[in-house]
Amino acid sequence: MKRRNMRTLLMASACVILALTSACSGNSGEAGSPSDRTGASNETKVPNNVDPAGKYEPPITVTMARDMPDNLTFPSGDSIENNIFTRSYRDELGINLKYDWITDSTQYNEKLNIAITSGELPDIFNVSPVQLKELAEADQLADLTEVYEKYASPLAAEKFKEDGGIGLKSATFDGKLMALPYVTAAIDGATMLWVRKDWLDNLKLPEPKTIDDVVEIARAFATKDPDGNNKNDTIGLATGQKIFGGGGGLLGFFNGFHVYPNAWIPEGEGGPLVNGLIQPETKQALAKLQEMYKEGLIDSEFTTKTGVGPDVIAGKVGMFYGTMSNPLNPLLQSKEKNPKAEWQYYPIASVDDKPAKPQISYTPPTYYVVNKNAENPEALMKLMNFFIEKNFGETADYTYMYDGPHRTHQYAPVRNFGVTKNVDNWRLIKEVTASGDVSKLNPEQKGYYDDIKKFEGGDLSKWSIADIFGQEGSLSLIDKYVSNDMMLVDGFYGLPTANMVEKNGPLNDMALETFTKIILGDSLDNFDKFVANWNKLGGEAITKDVNEWAATQK
């Protein structure tokens, strides 16, 4: 407590000194004149001058926390703390970005929870839905209603409505907007099956259309030495220990059985919402997985692995369930190591003649929030406007999206892409490739287009972009999923209910443990016990909550 008071005092005196000195030098620019700014920090938090892209004079410092995406690379000399975004924030917005702490993405939540507990929160940070709810109820967050109304650029406002307003709605508490949702391409999360096409060809196998094909291919990959090195060192179907995960998990496999773990789906036509974990079909999927594990078709050590990446790169994996973005990671690294590796995606295989639907969720995975004590809550909206403008606006510049092999857009701590961005890009690039009229492309799309041309000209470093945005790229499958209505949308997209916060921990734990152990060989009957326990230990109460919530959405 004391420390924060001390800091506020220091900040206030610094403000006064700055105000005096800049007034003396006669530098009272339009955006944030000194008198305005001292007034702002004392009374109302939103300054009167409103310009969504206006620059702070003098510059302000905003503290943030950051999760580093895996395998993020930088142009030489750059780092997460000094890159195209931080420099532009400083030069164009007058915002100096300072990271209080940076962790890898798996540690972020835990680290943030500790920061929440100790009260040492940065000005701007991103939170999970549970954390949003806790923080909003604990009154730790700045009210962004006014900030959003005054500062959201028209383009940003458009992006925030692409999901039908679901994100903003879920971040609104008692009519007050407490966070900016990360509206992302939820449809891009749809799973697909990535297979080593060169291995398929080596062993003269058919494409995986049904679960039986998947089993057949896994068997051949595991036993018939597909890489021809005369060693029995290949994995049939790879997965990490997080079996409910979409990328590098088994979610796509479950979806192939028309089973949707942790998604809420109507029971029958228009019936009440039920959880996909506990449906009878789930047991069949588990039985098949158990059979495959017993036969050695699934990575025997998957329980000790956090993901499939390292094995994929090492050339041991022939097949895994992933997403459209996998060419960036780990497939590009796999190709760099072994240029002969041919990765091909397929729609997730179905157990019967009904096509399998990958499950997706429109609930924003994270929200951006502002600390209640932050001096400039509108800085978040400015950062957001900036990202959207530089990527989708009239002044868009492709280097804010990609710089060679570097995923520059991920350097930005505040991002928003909208729902259909990637597949829209793909569609337009396809159209332009046919017509040749490149003037239709915005800089980002033009960047992809050029990269694809470069790849066709022999530049292998552009392989991943070509394999995503090219005509035959992974997005063509997302386009197919969308146009044929082949995705299953989670019926629940509100914030977690009280019962979920209390019971989801033990329930998820139990599901992961039971399912993993059944795959490893435990009796299938444990699934029935699991269903009973799941209901008893809170699943029933949560189901009730979800259906009550659904009633309010009608």
Residue ranges binding another protein (CB under 8 A) = 109-110, 113-114, 116-117, 119, 130-131, 134, 137-140, 233, 241, 300-301, 303-304, 501-502, 504-506, 509-510, 512-513, 516-517, 520, 533, 537
Q: Which residue, 513 or 548, has its beta carbon nearer to another protein? A: 513
Q: Are 481 and 489 in contact (CB under 8 A)?
A: no
DSSP code string of 375-435:
S-THHHHHHHHHHHHHHHSTT--GGGT-BTTB-GGGG-SS----SSHHHHHHHHHHHHHHH
Q: How far apart are CA 127 and CA 118, in angstroms?
A: 16
Tell me the closest approach of the beta carbon of residue 118 to another protein, in angstroms.
Answer: 8
167-176 long-range contacts (CB < 8 A, ≥24 apart) are 167/362, 167/364, 170/129, 170/363, 170/364, 170/493, 170/494, 170/495, 171/132, 171/364, 171/367, 173/136, 173/137, 175/145, 176/143, 176/145
Q: Which residue, 472 or 513, has its beta carbon nearer to another protein? A: 513
Q: Which residue, 184 or 504, has its beta carbon nearer to another protein? A: 504
Tell me the closest approach of the beta carbon of residue 232 to another protein, in angstroms.
Answer: 9
Phi/psi-derived region of residue 454, left when phi > 0, alpha when psi is between -120 and 50, beta in every other case: alpha
∠ Cα 258 504 267 (to 5°): 35
Q: Which residue, 130 or 287, has its beta carbon nearer to another protein? A: 130
Tell me the closest approach of the beta carbon of residue 135 to another protein, in angstroms.
Answer: 9
Q: How far apart are CA 545 and CA 552, in angstroms?
A: 11
Tell me the closest approach of the beta carbon of residue 513 to another protein, in angstroms.
Answer: 5
Q: Which residue, 131 or 408, has its beta carbon nearer to another protein? A: 131
**Percentage helix, strand, coil, to 5, in the chain?**
50, 15, 40
Count CA within 13 A, CB hemisphere, residue 530: 26
Q: Which residue, 186 or 507, has its beta carbon nearer to another protein? A: 507
Q: Which residue, 271 or 505, has its beta carbon nearer to another protein? A: 505
Q: Which residue, 109 or 223, has its beta carbon nearer to another protein? A: 109
Q: Which residue, 139 or 269, has its beta carbon nearer to another protein? A: 139
Please choose, from the candidates 96, 171, 89, 160, the residue with its C-alpha nearest in 3D space to the C-alpha of residue 127: 171
| Residue 470 DSSP class | S
Tell me the closest approach of the beta carbon of residue 202 to another protein, in angstroms.
Answer: 22
Tell me the closest approach of the beta carbon of residue 67 to another protein, in angstroms.
Answer: 15
Q: Which residue, 433 or 533, has its beta carbon nearer to another protein? A: 533
Please choose, from the candidates 53, 60, 61, the residue with its C-alpha nearest in 3D space to the C-alpha of residue 37: 60
- Main-chain dihedrals φ then ψ at residue 150, nearest 5 degrees: -85, -35
Tell me the closest approach of the beta carbon of residue 316 to another protein, in angstroms.
Answer: 9
Q: Which residue, 149 or 301, has its beta carbon nearer to another protein? A: 301
Residue 493 CB neighbour total at 10 angstroms? 21
How many angstroms from the chain centroid is the CA of residue 67? 12
Q: Are 97 and 356 in contact (CB under 8 A)?
A: no
The pair of structure tokens assigned to 209 is: 């259309």
Q: Are 450 and 459 in contact (CB under 8 A)?
A: no
Q: Are 98 and 64 in contact (CB under 8 A)?
A: yes
Tell me the closest approach of the beta carbon of residue 503 to another protein, in angstroms.
Answer: 10
Q: Which residue, 41 or 128, has its beta carbon nearer to another protein? A: 128
Q: How far apart are CA 146 and CA 164, in angstroms?
A: 21
Tell me the closest approach of the beta carbon of residue 373 to another protein, in angstroms.
Answer: 11
Tell me the closest approach of the beta carbon of residue 239 to another protein, in angstroms.
Answer: 12
Q: Which residue, 134 or 213, has its beta carbon nearer to another protein? A: 134
- Main-chain dihedrals φ then ψ at residue 41, nearest 5 degrees: -70, -20
The pair of structure tokens assigned to 31 is: 């955006």
Tell me the closest approach of the beta carbon of residue 39 to another protein, in angstroms.
Answer: 26
Q: How far apart are CA 367 and CA 130, in angstroms?
A: 10
Tell me the closest approach of the beta carbon of residue 521 to another protein, in angstroms.
Answer: 10
Positive or negative: CA dihedral 428, 429, 430, 435? positive
Tell me the closest approach of the beta carbon of residue 507 to another protein, in angstroms.
Answer: 9
Tell me the closest approach of the beta carbon of residue 534 to another protein, in angstroms.
Answer: 10
Residues 6+ apart with CB under 8 A from 492: 263, 264, 273, 363, 546, 549, 550
- Three-class DSSP category at 176: strand
Q: Which residue, 120 or 456, has its beta carbon nearer to another protein? A: 120
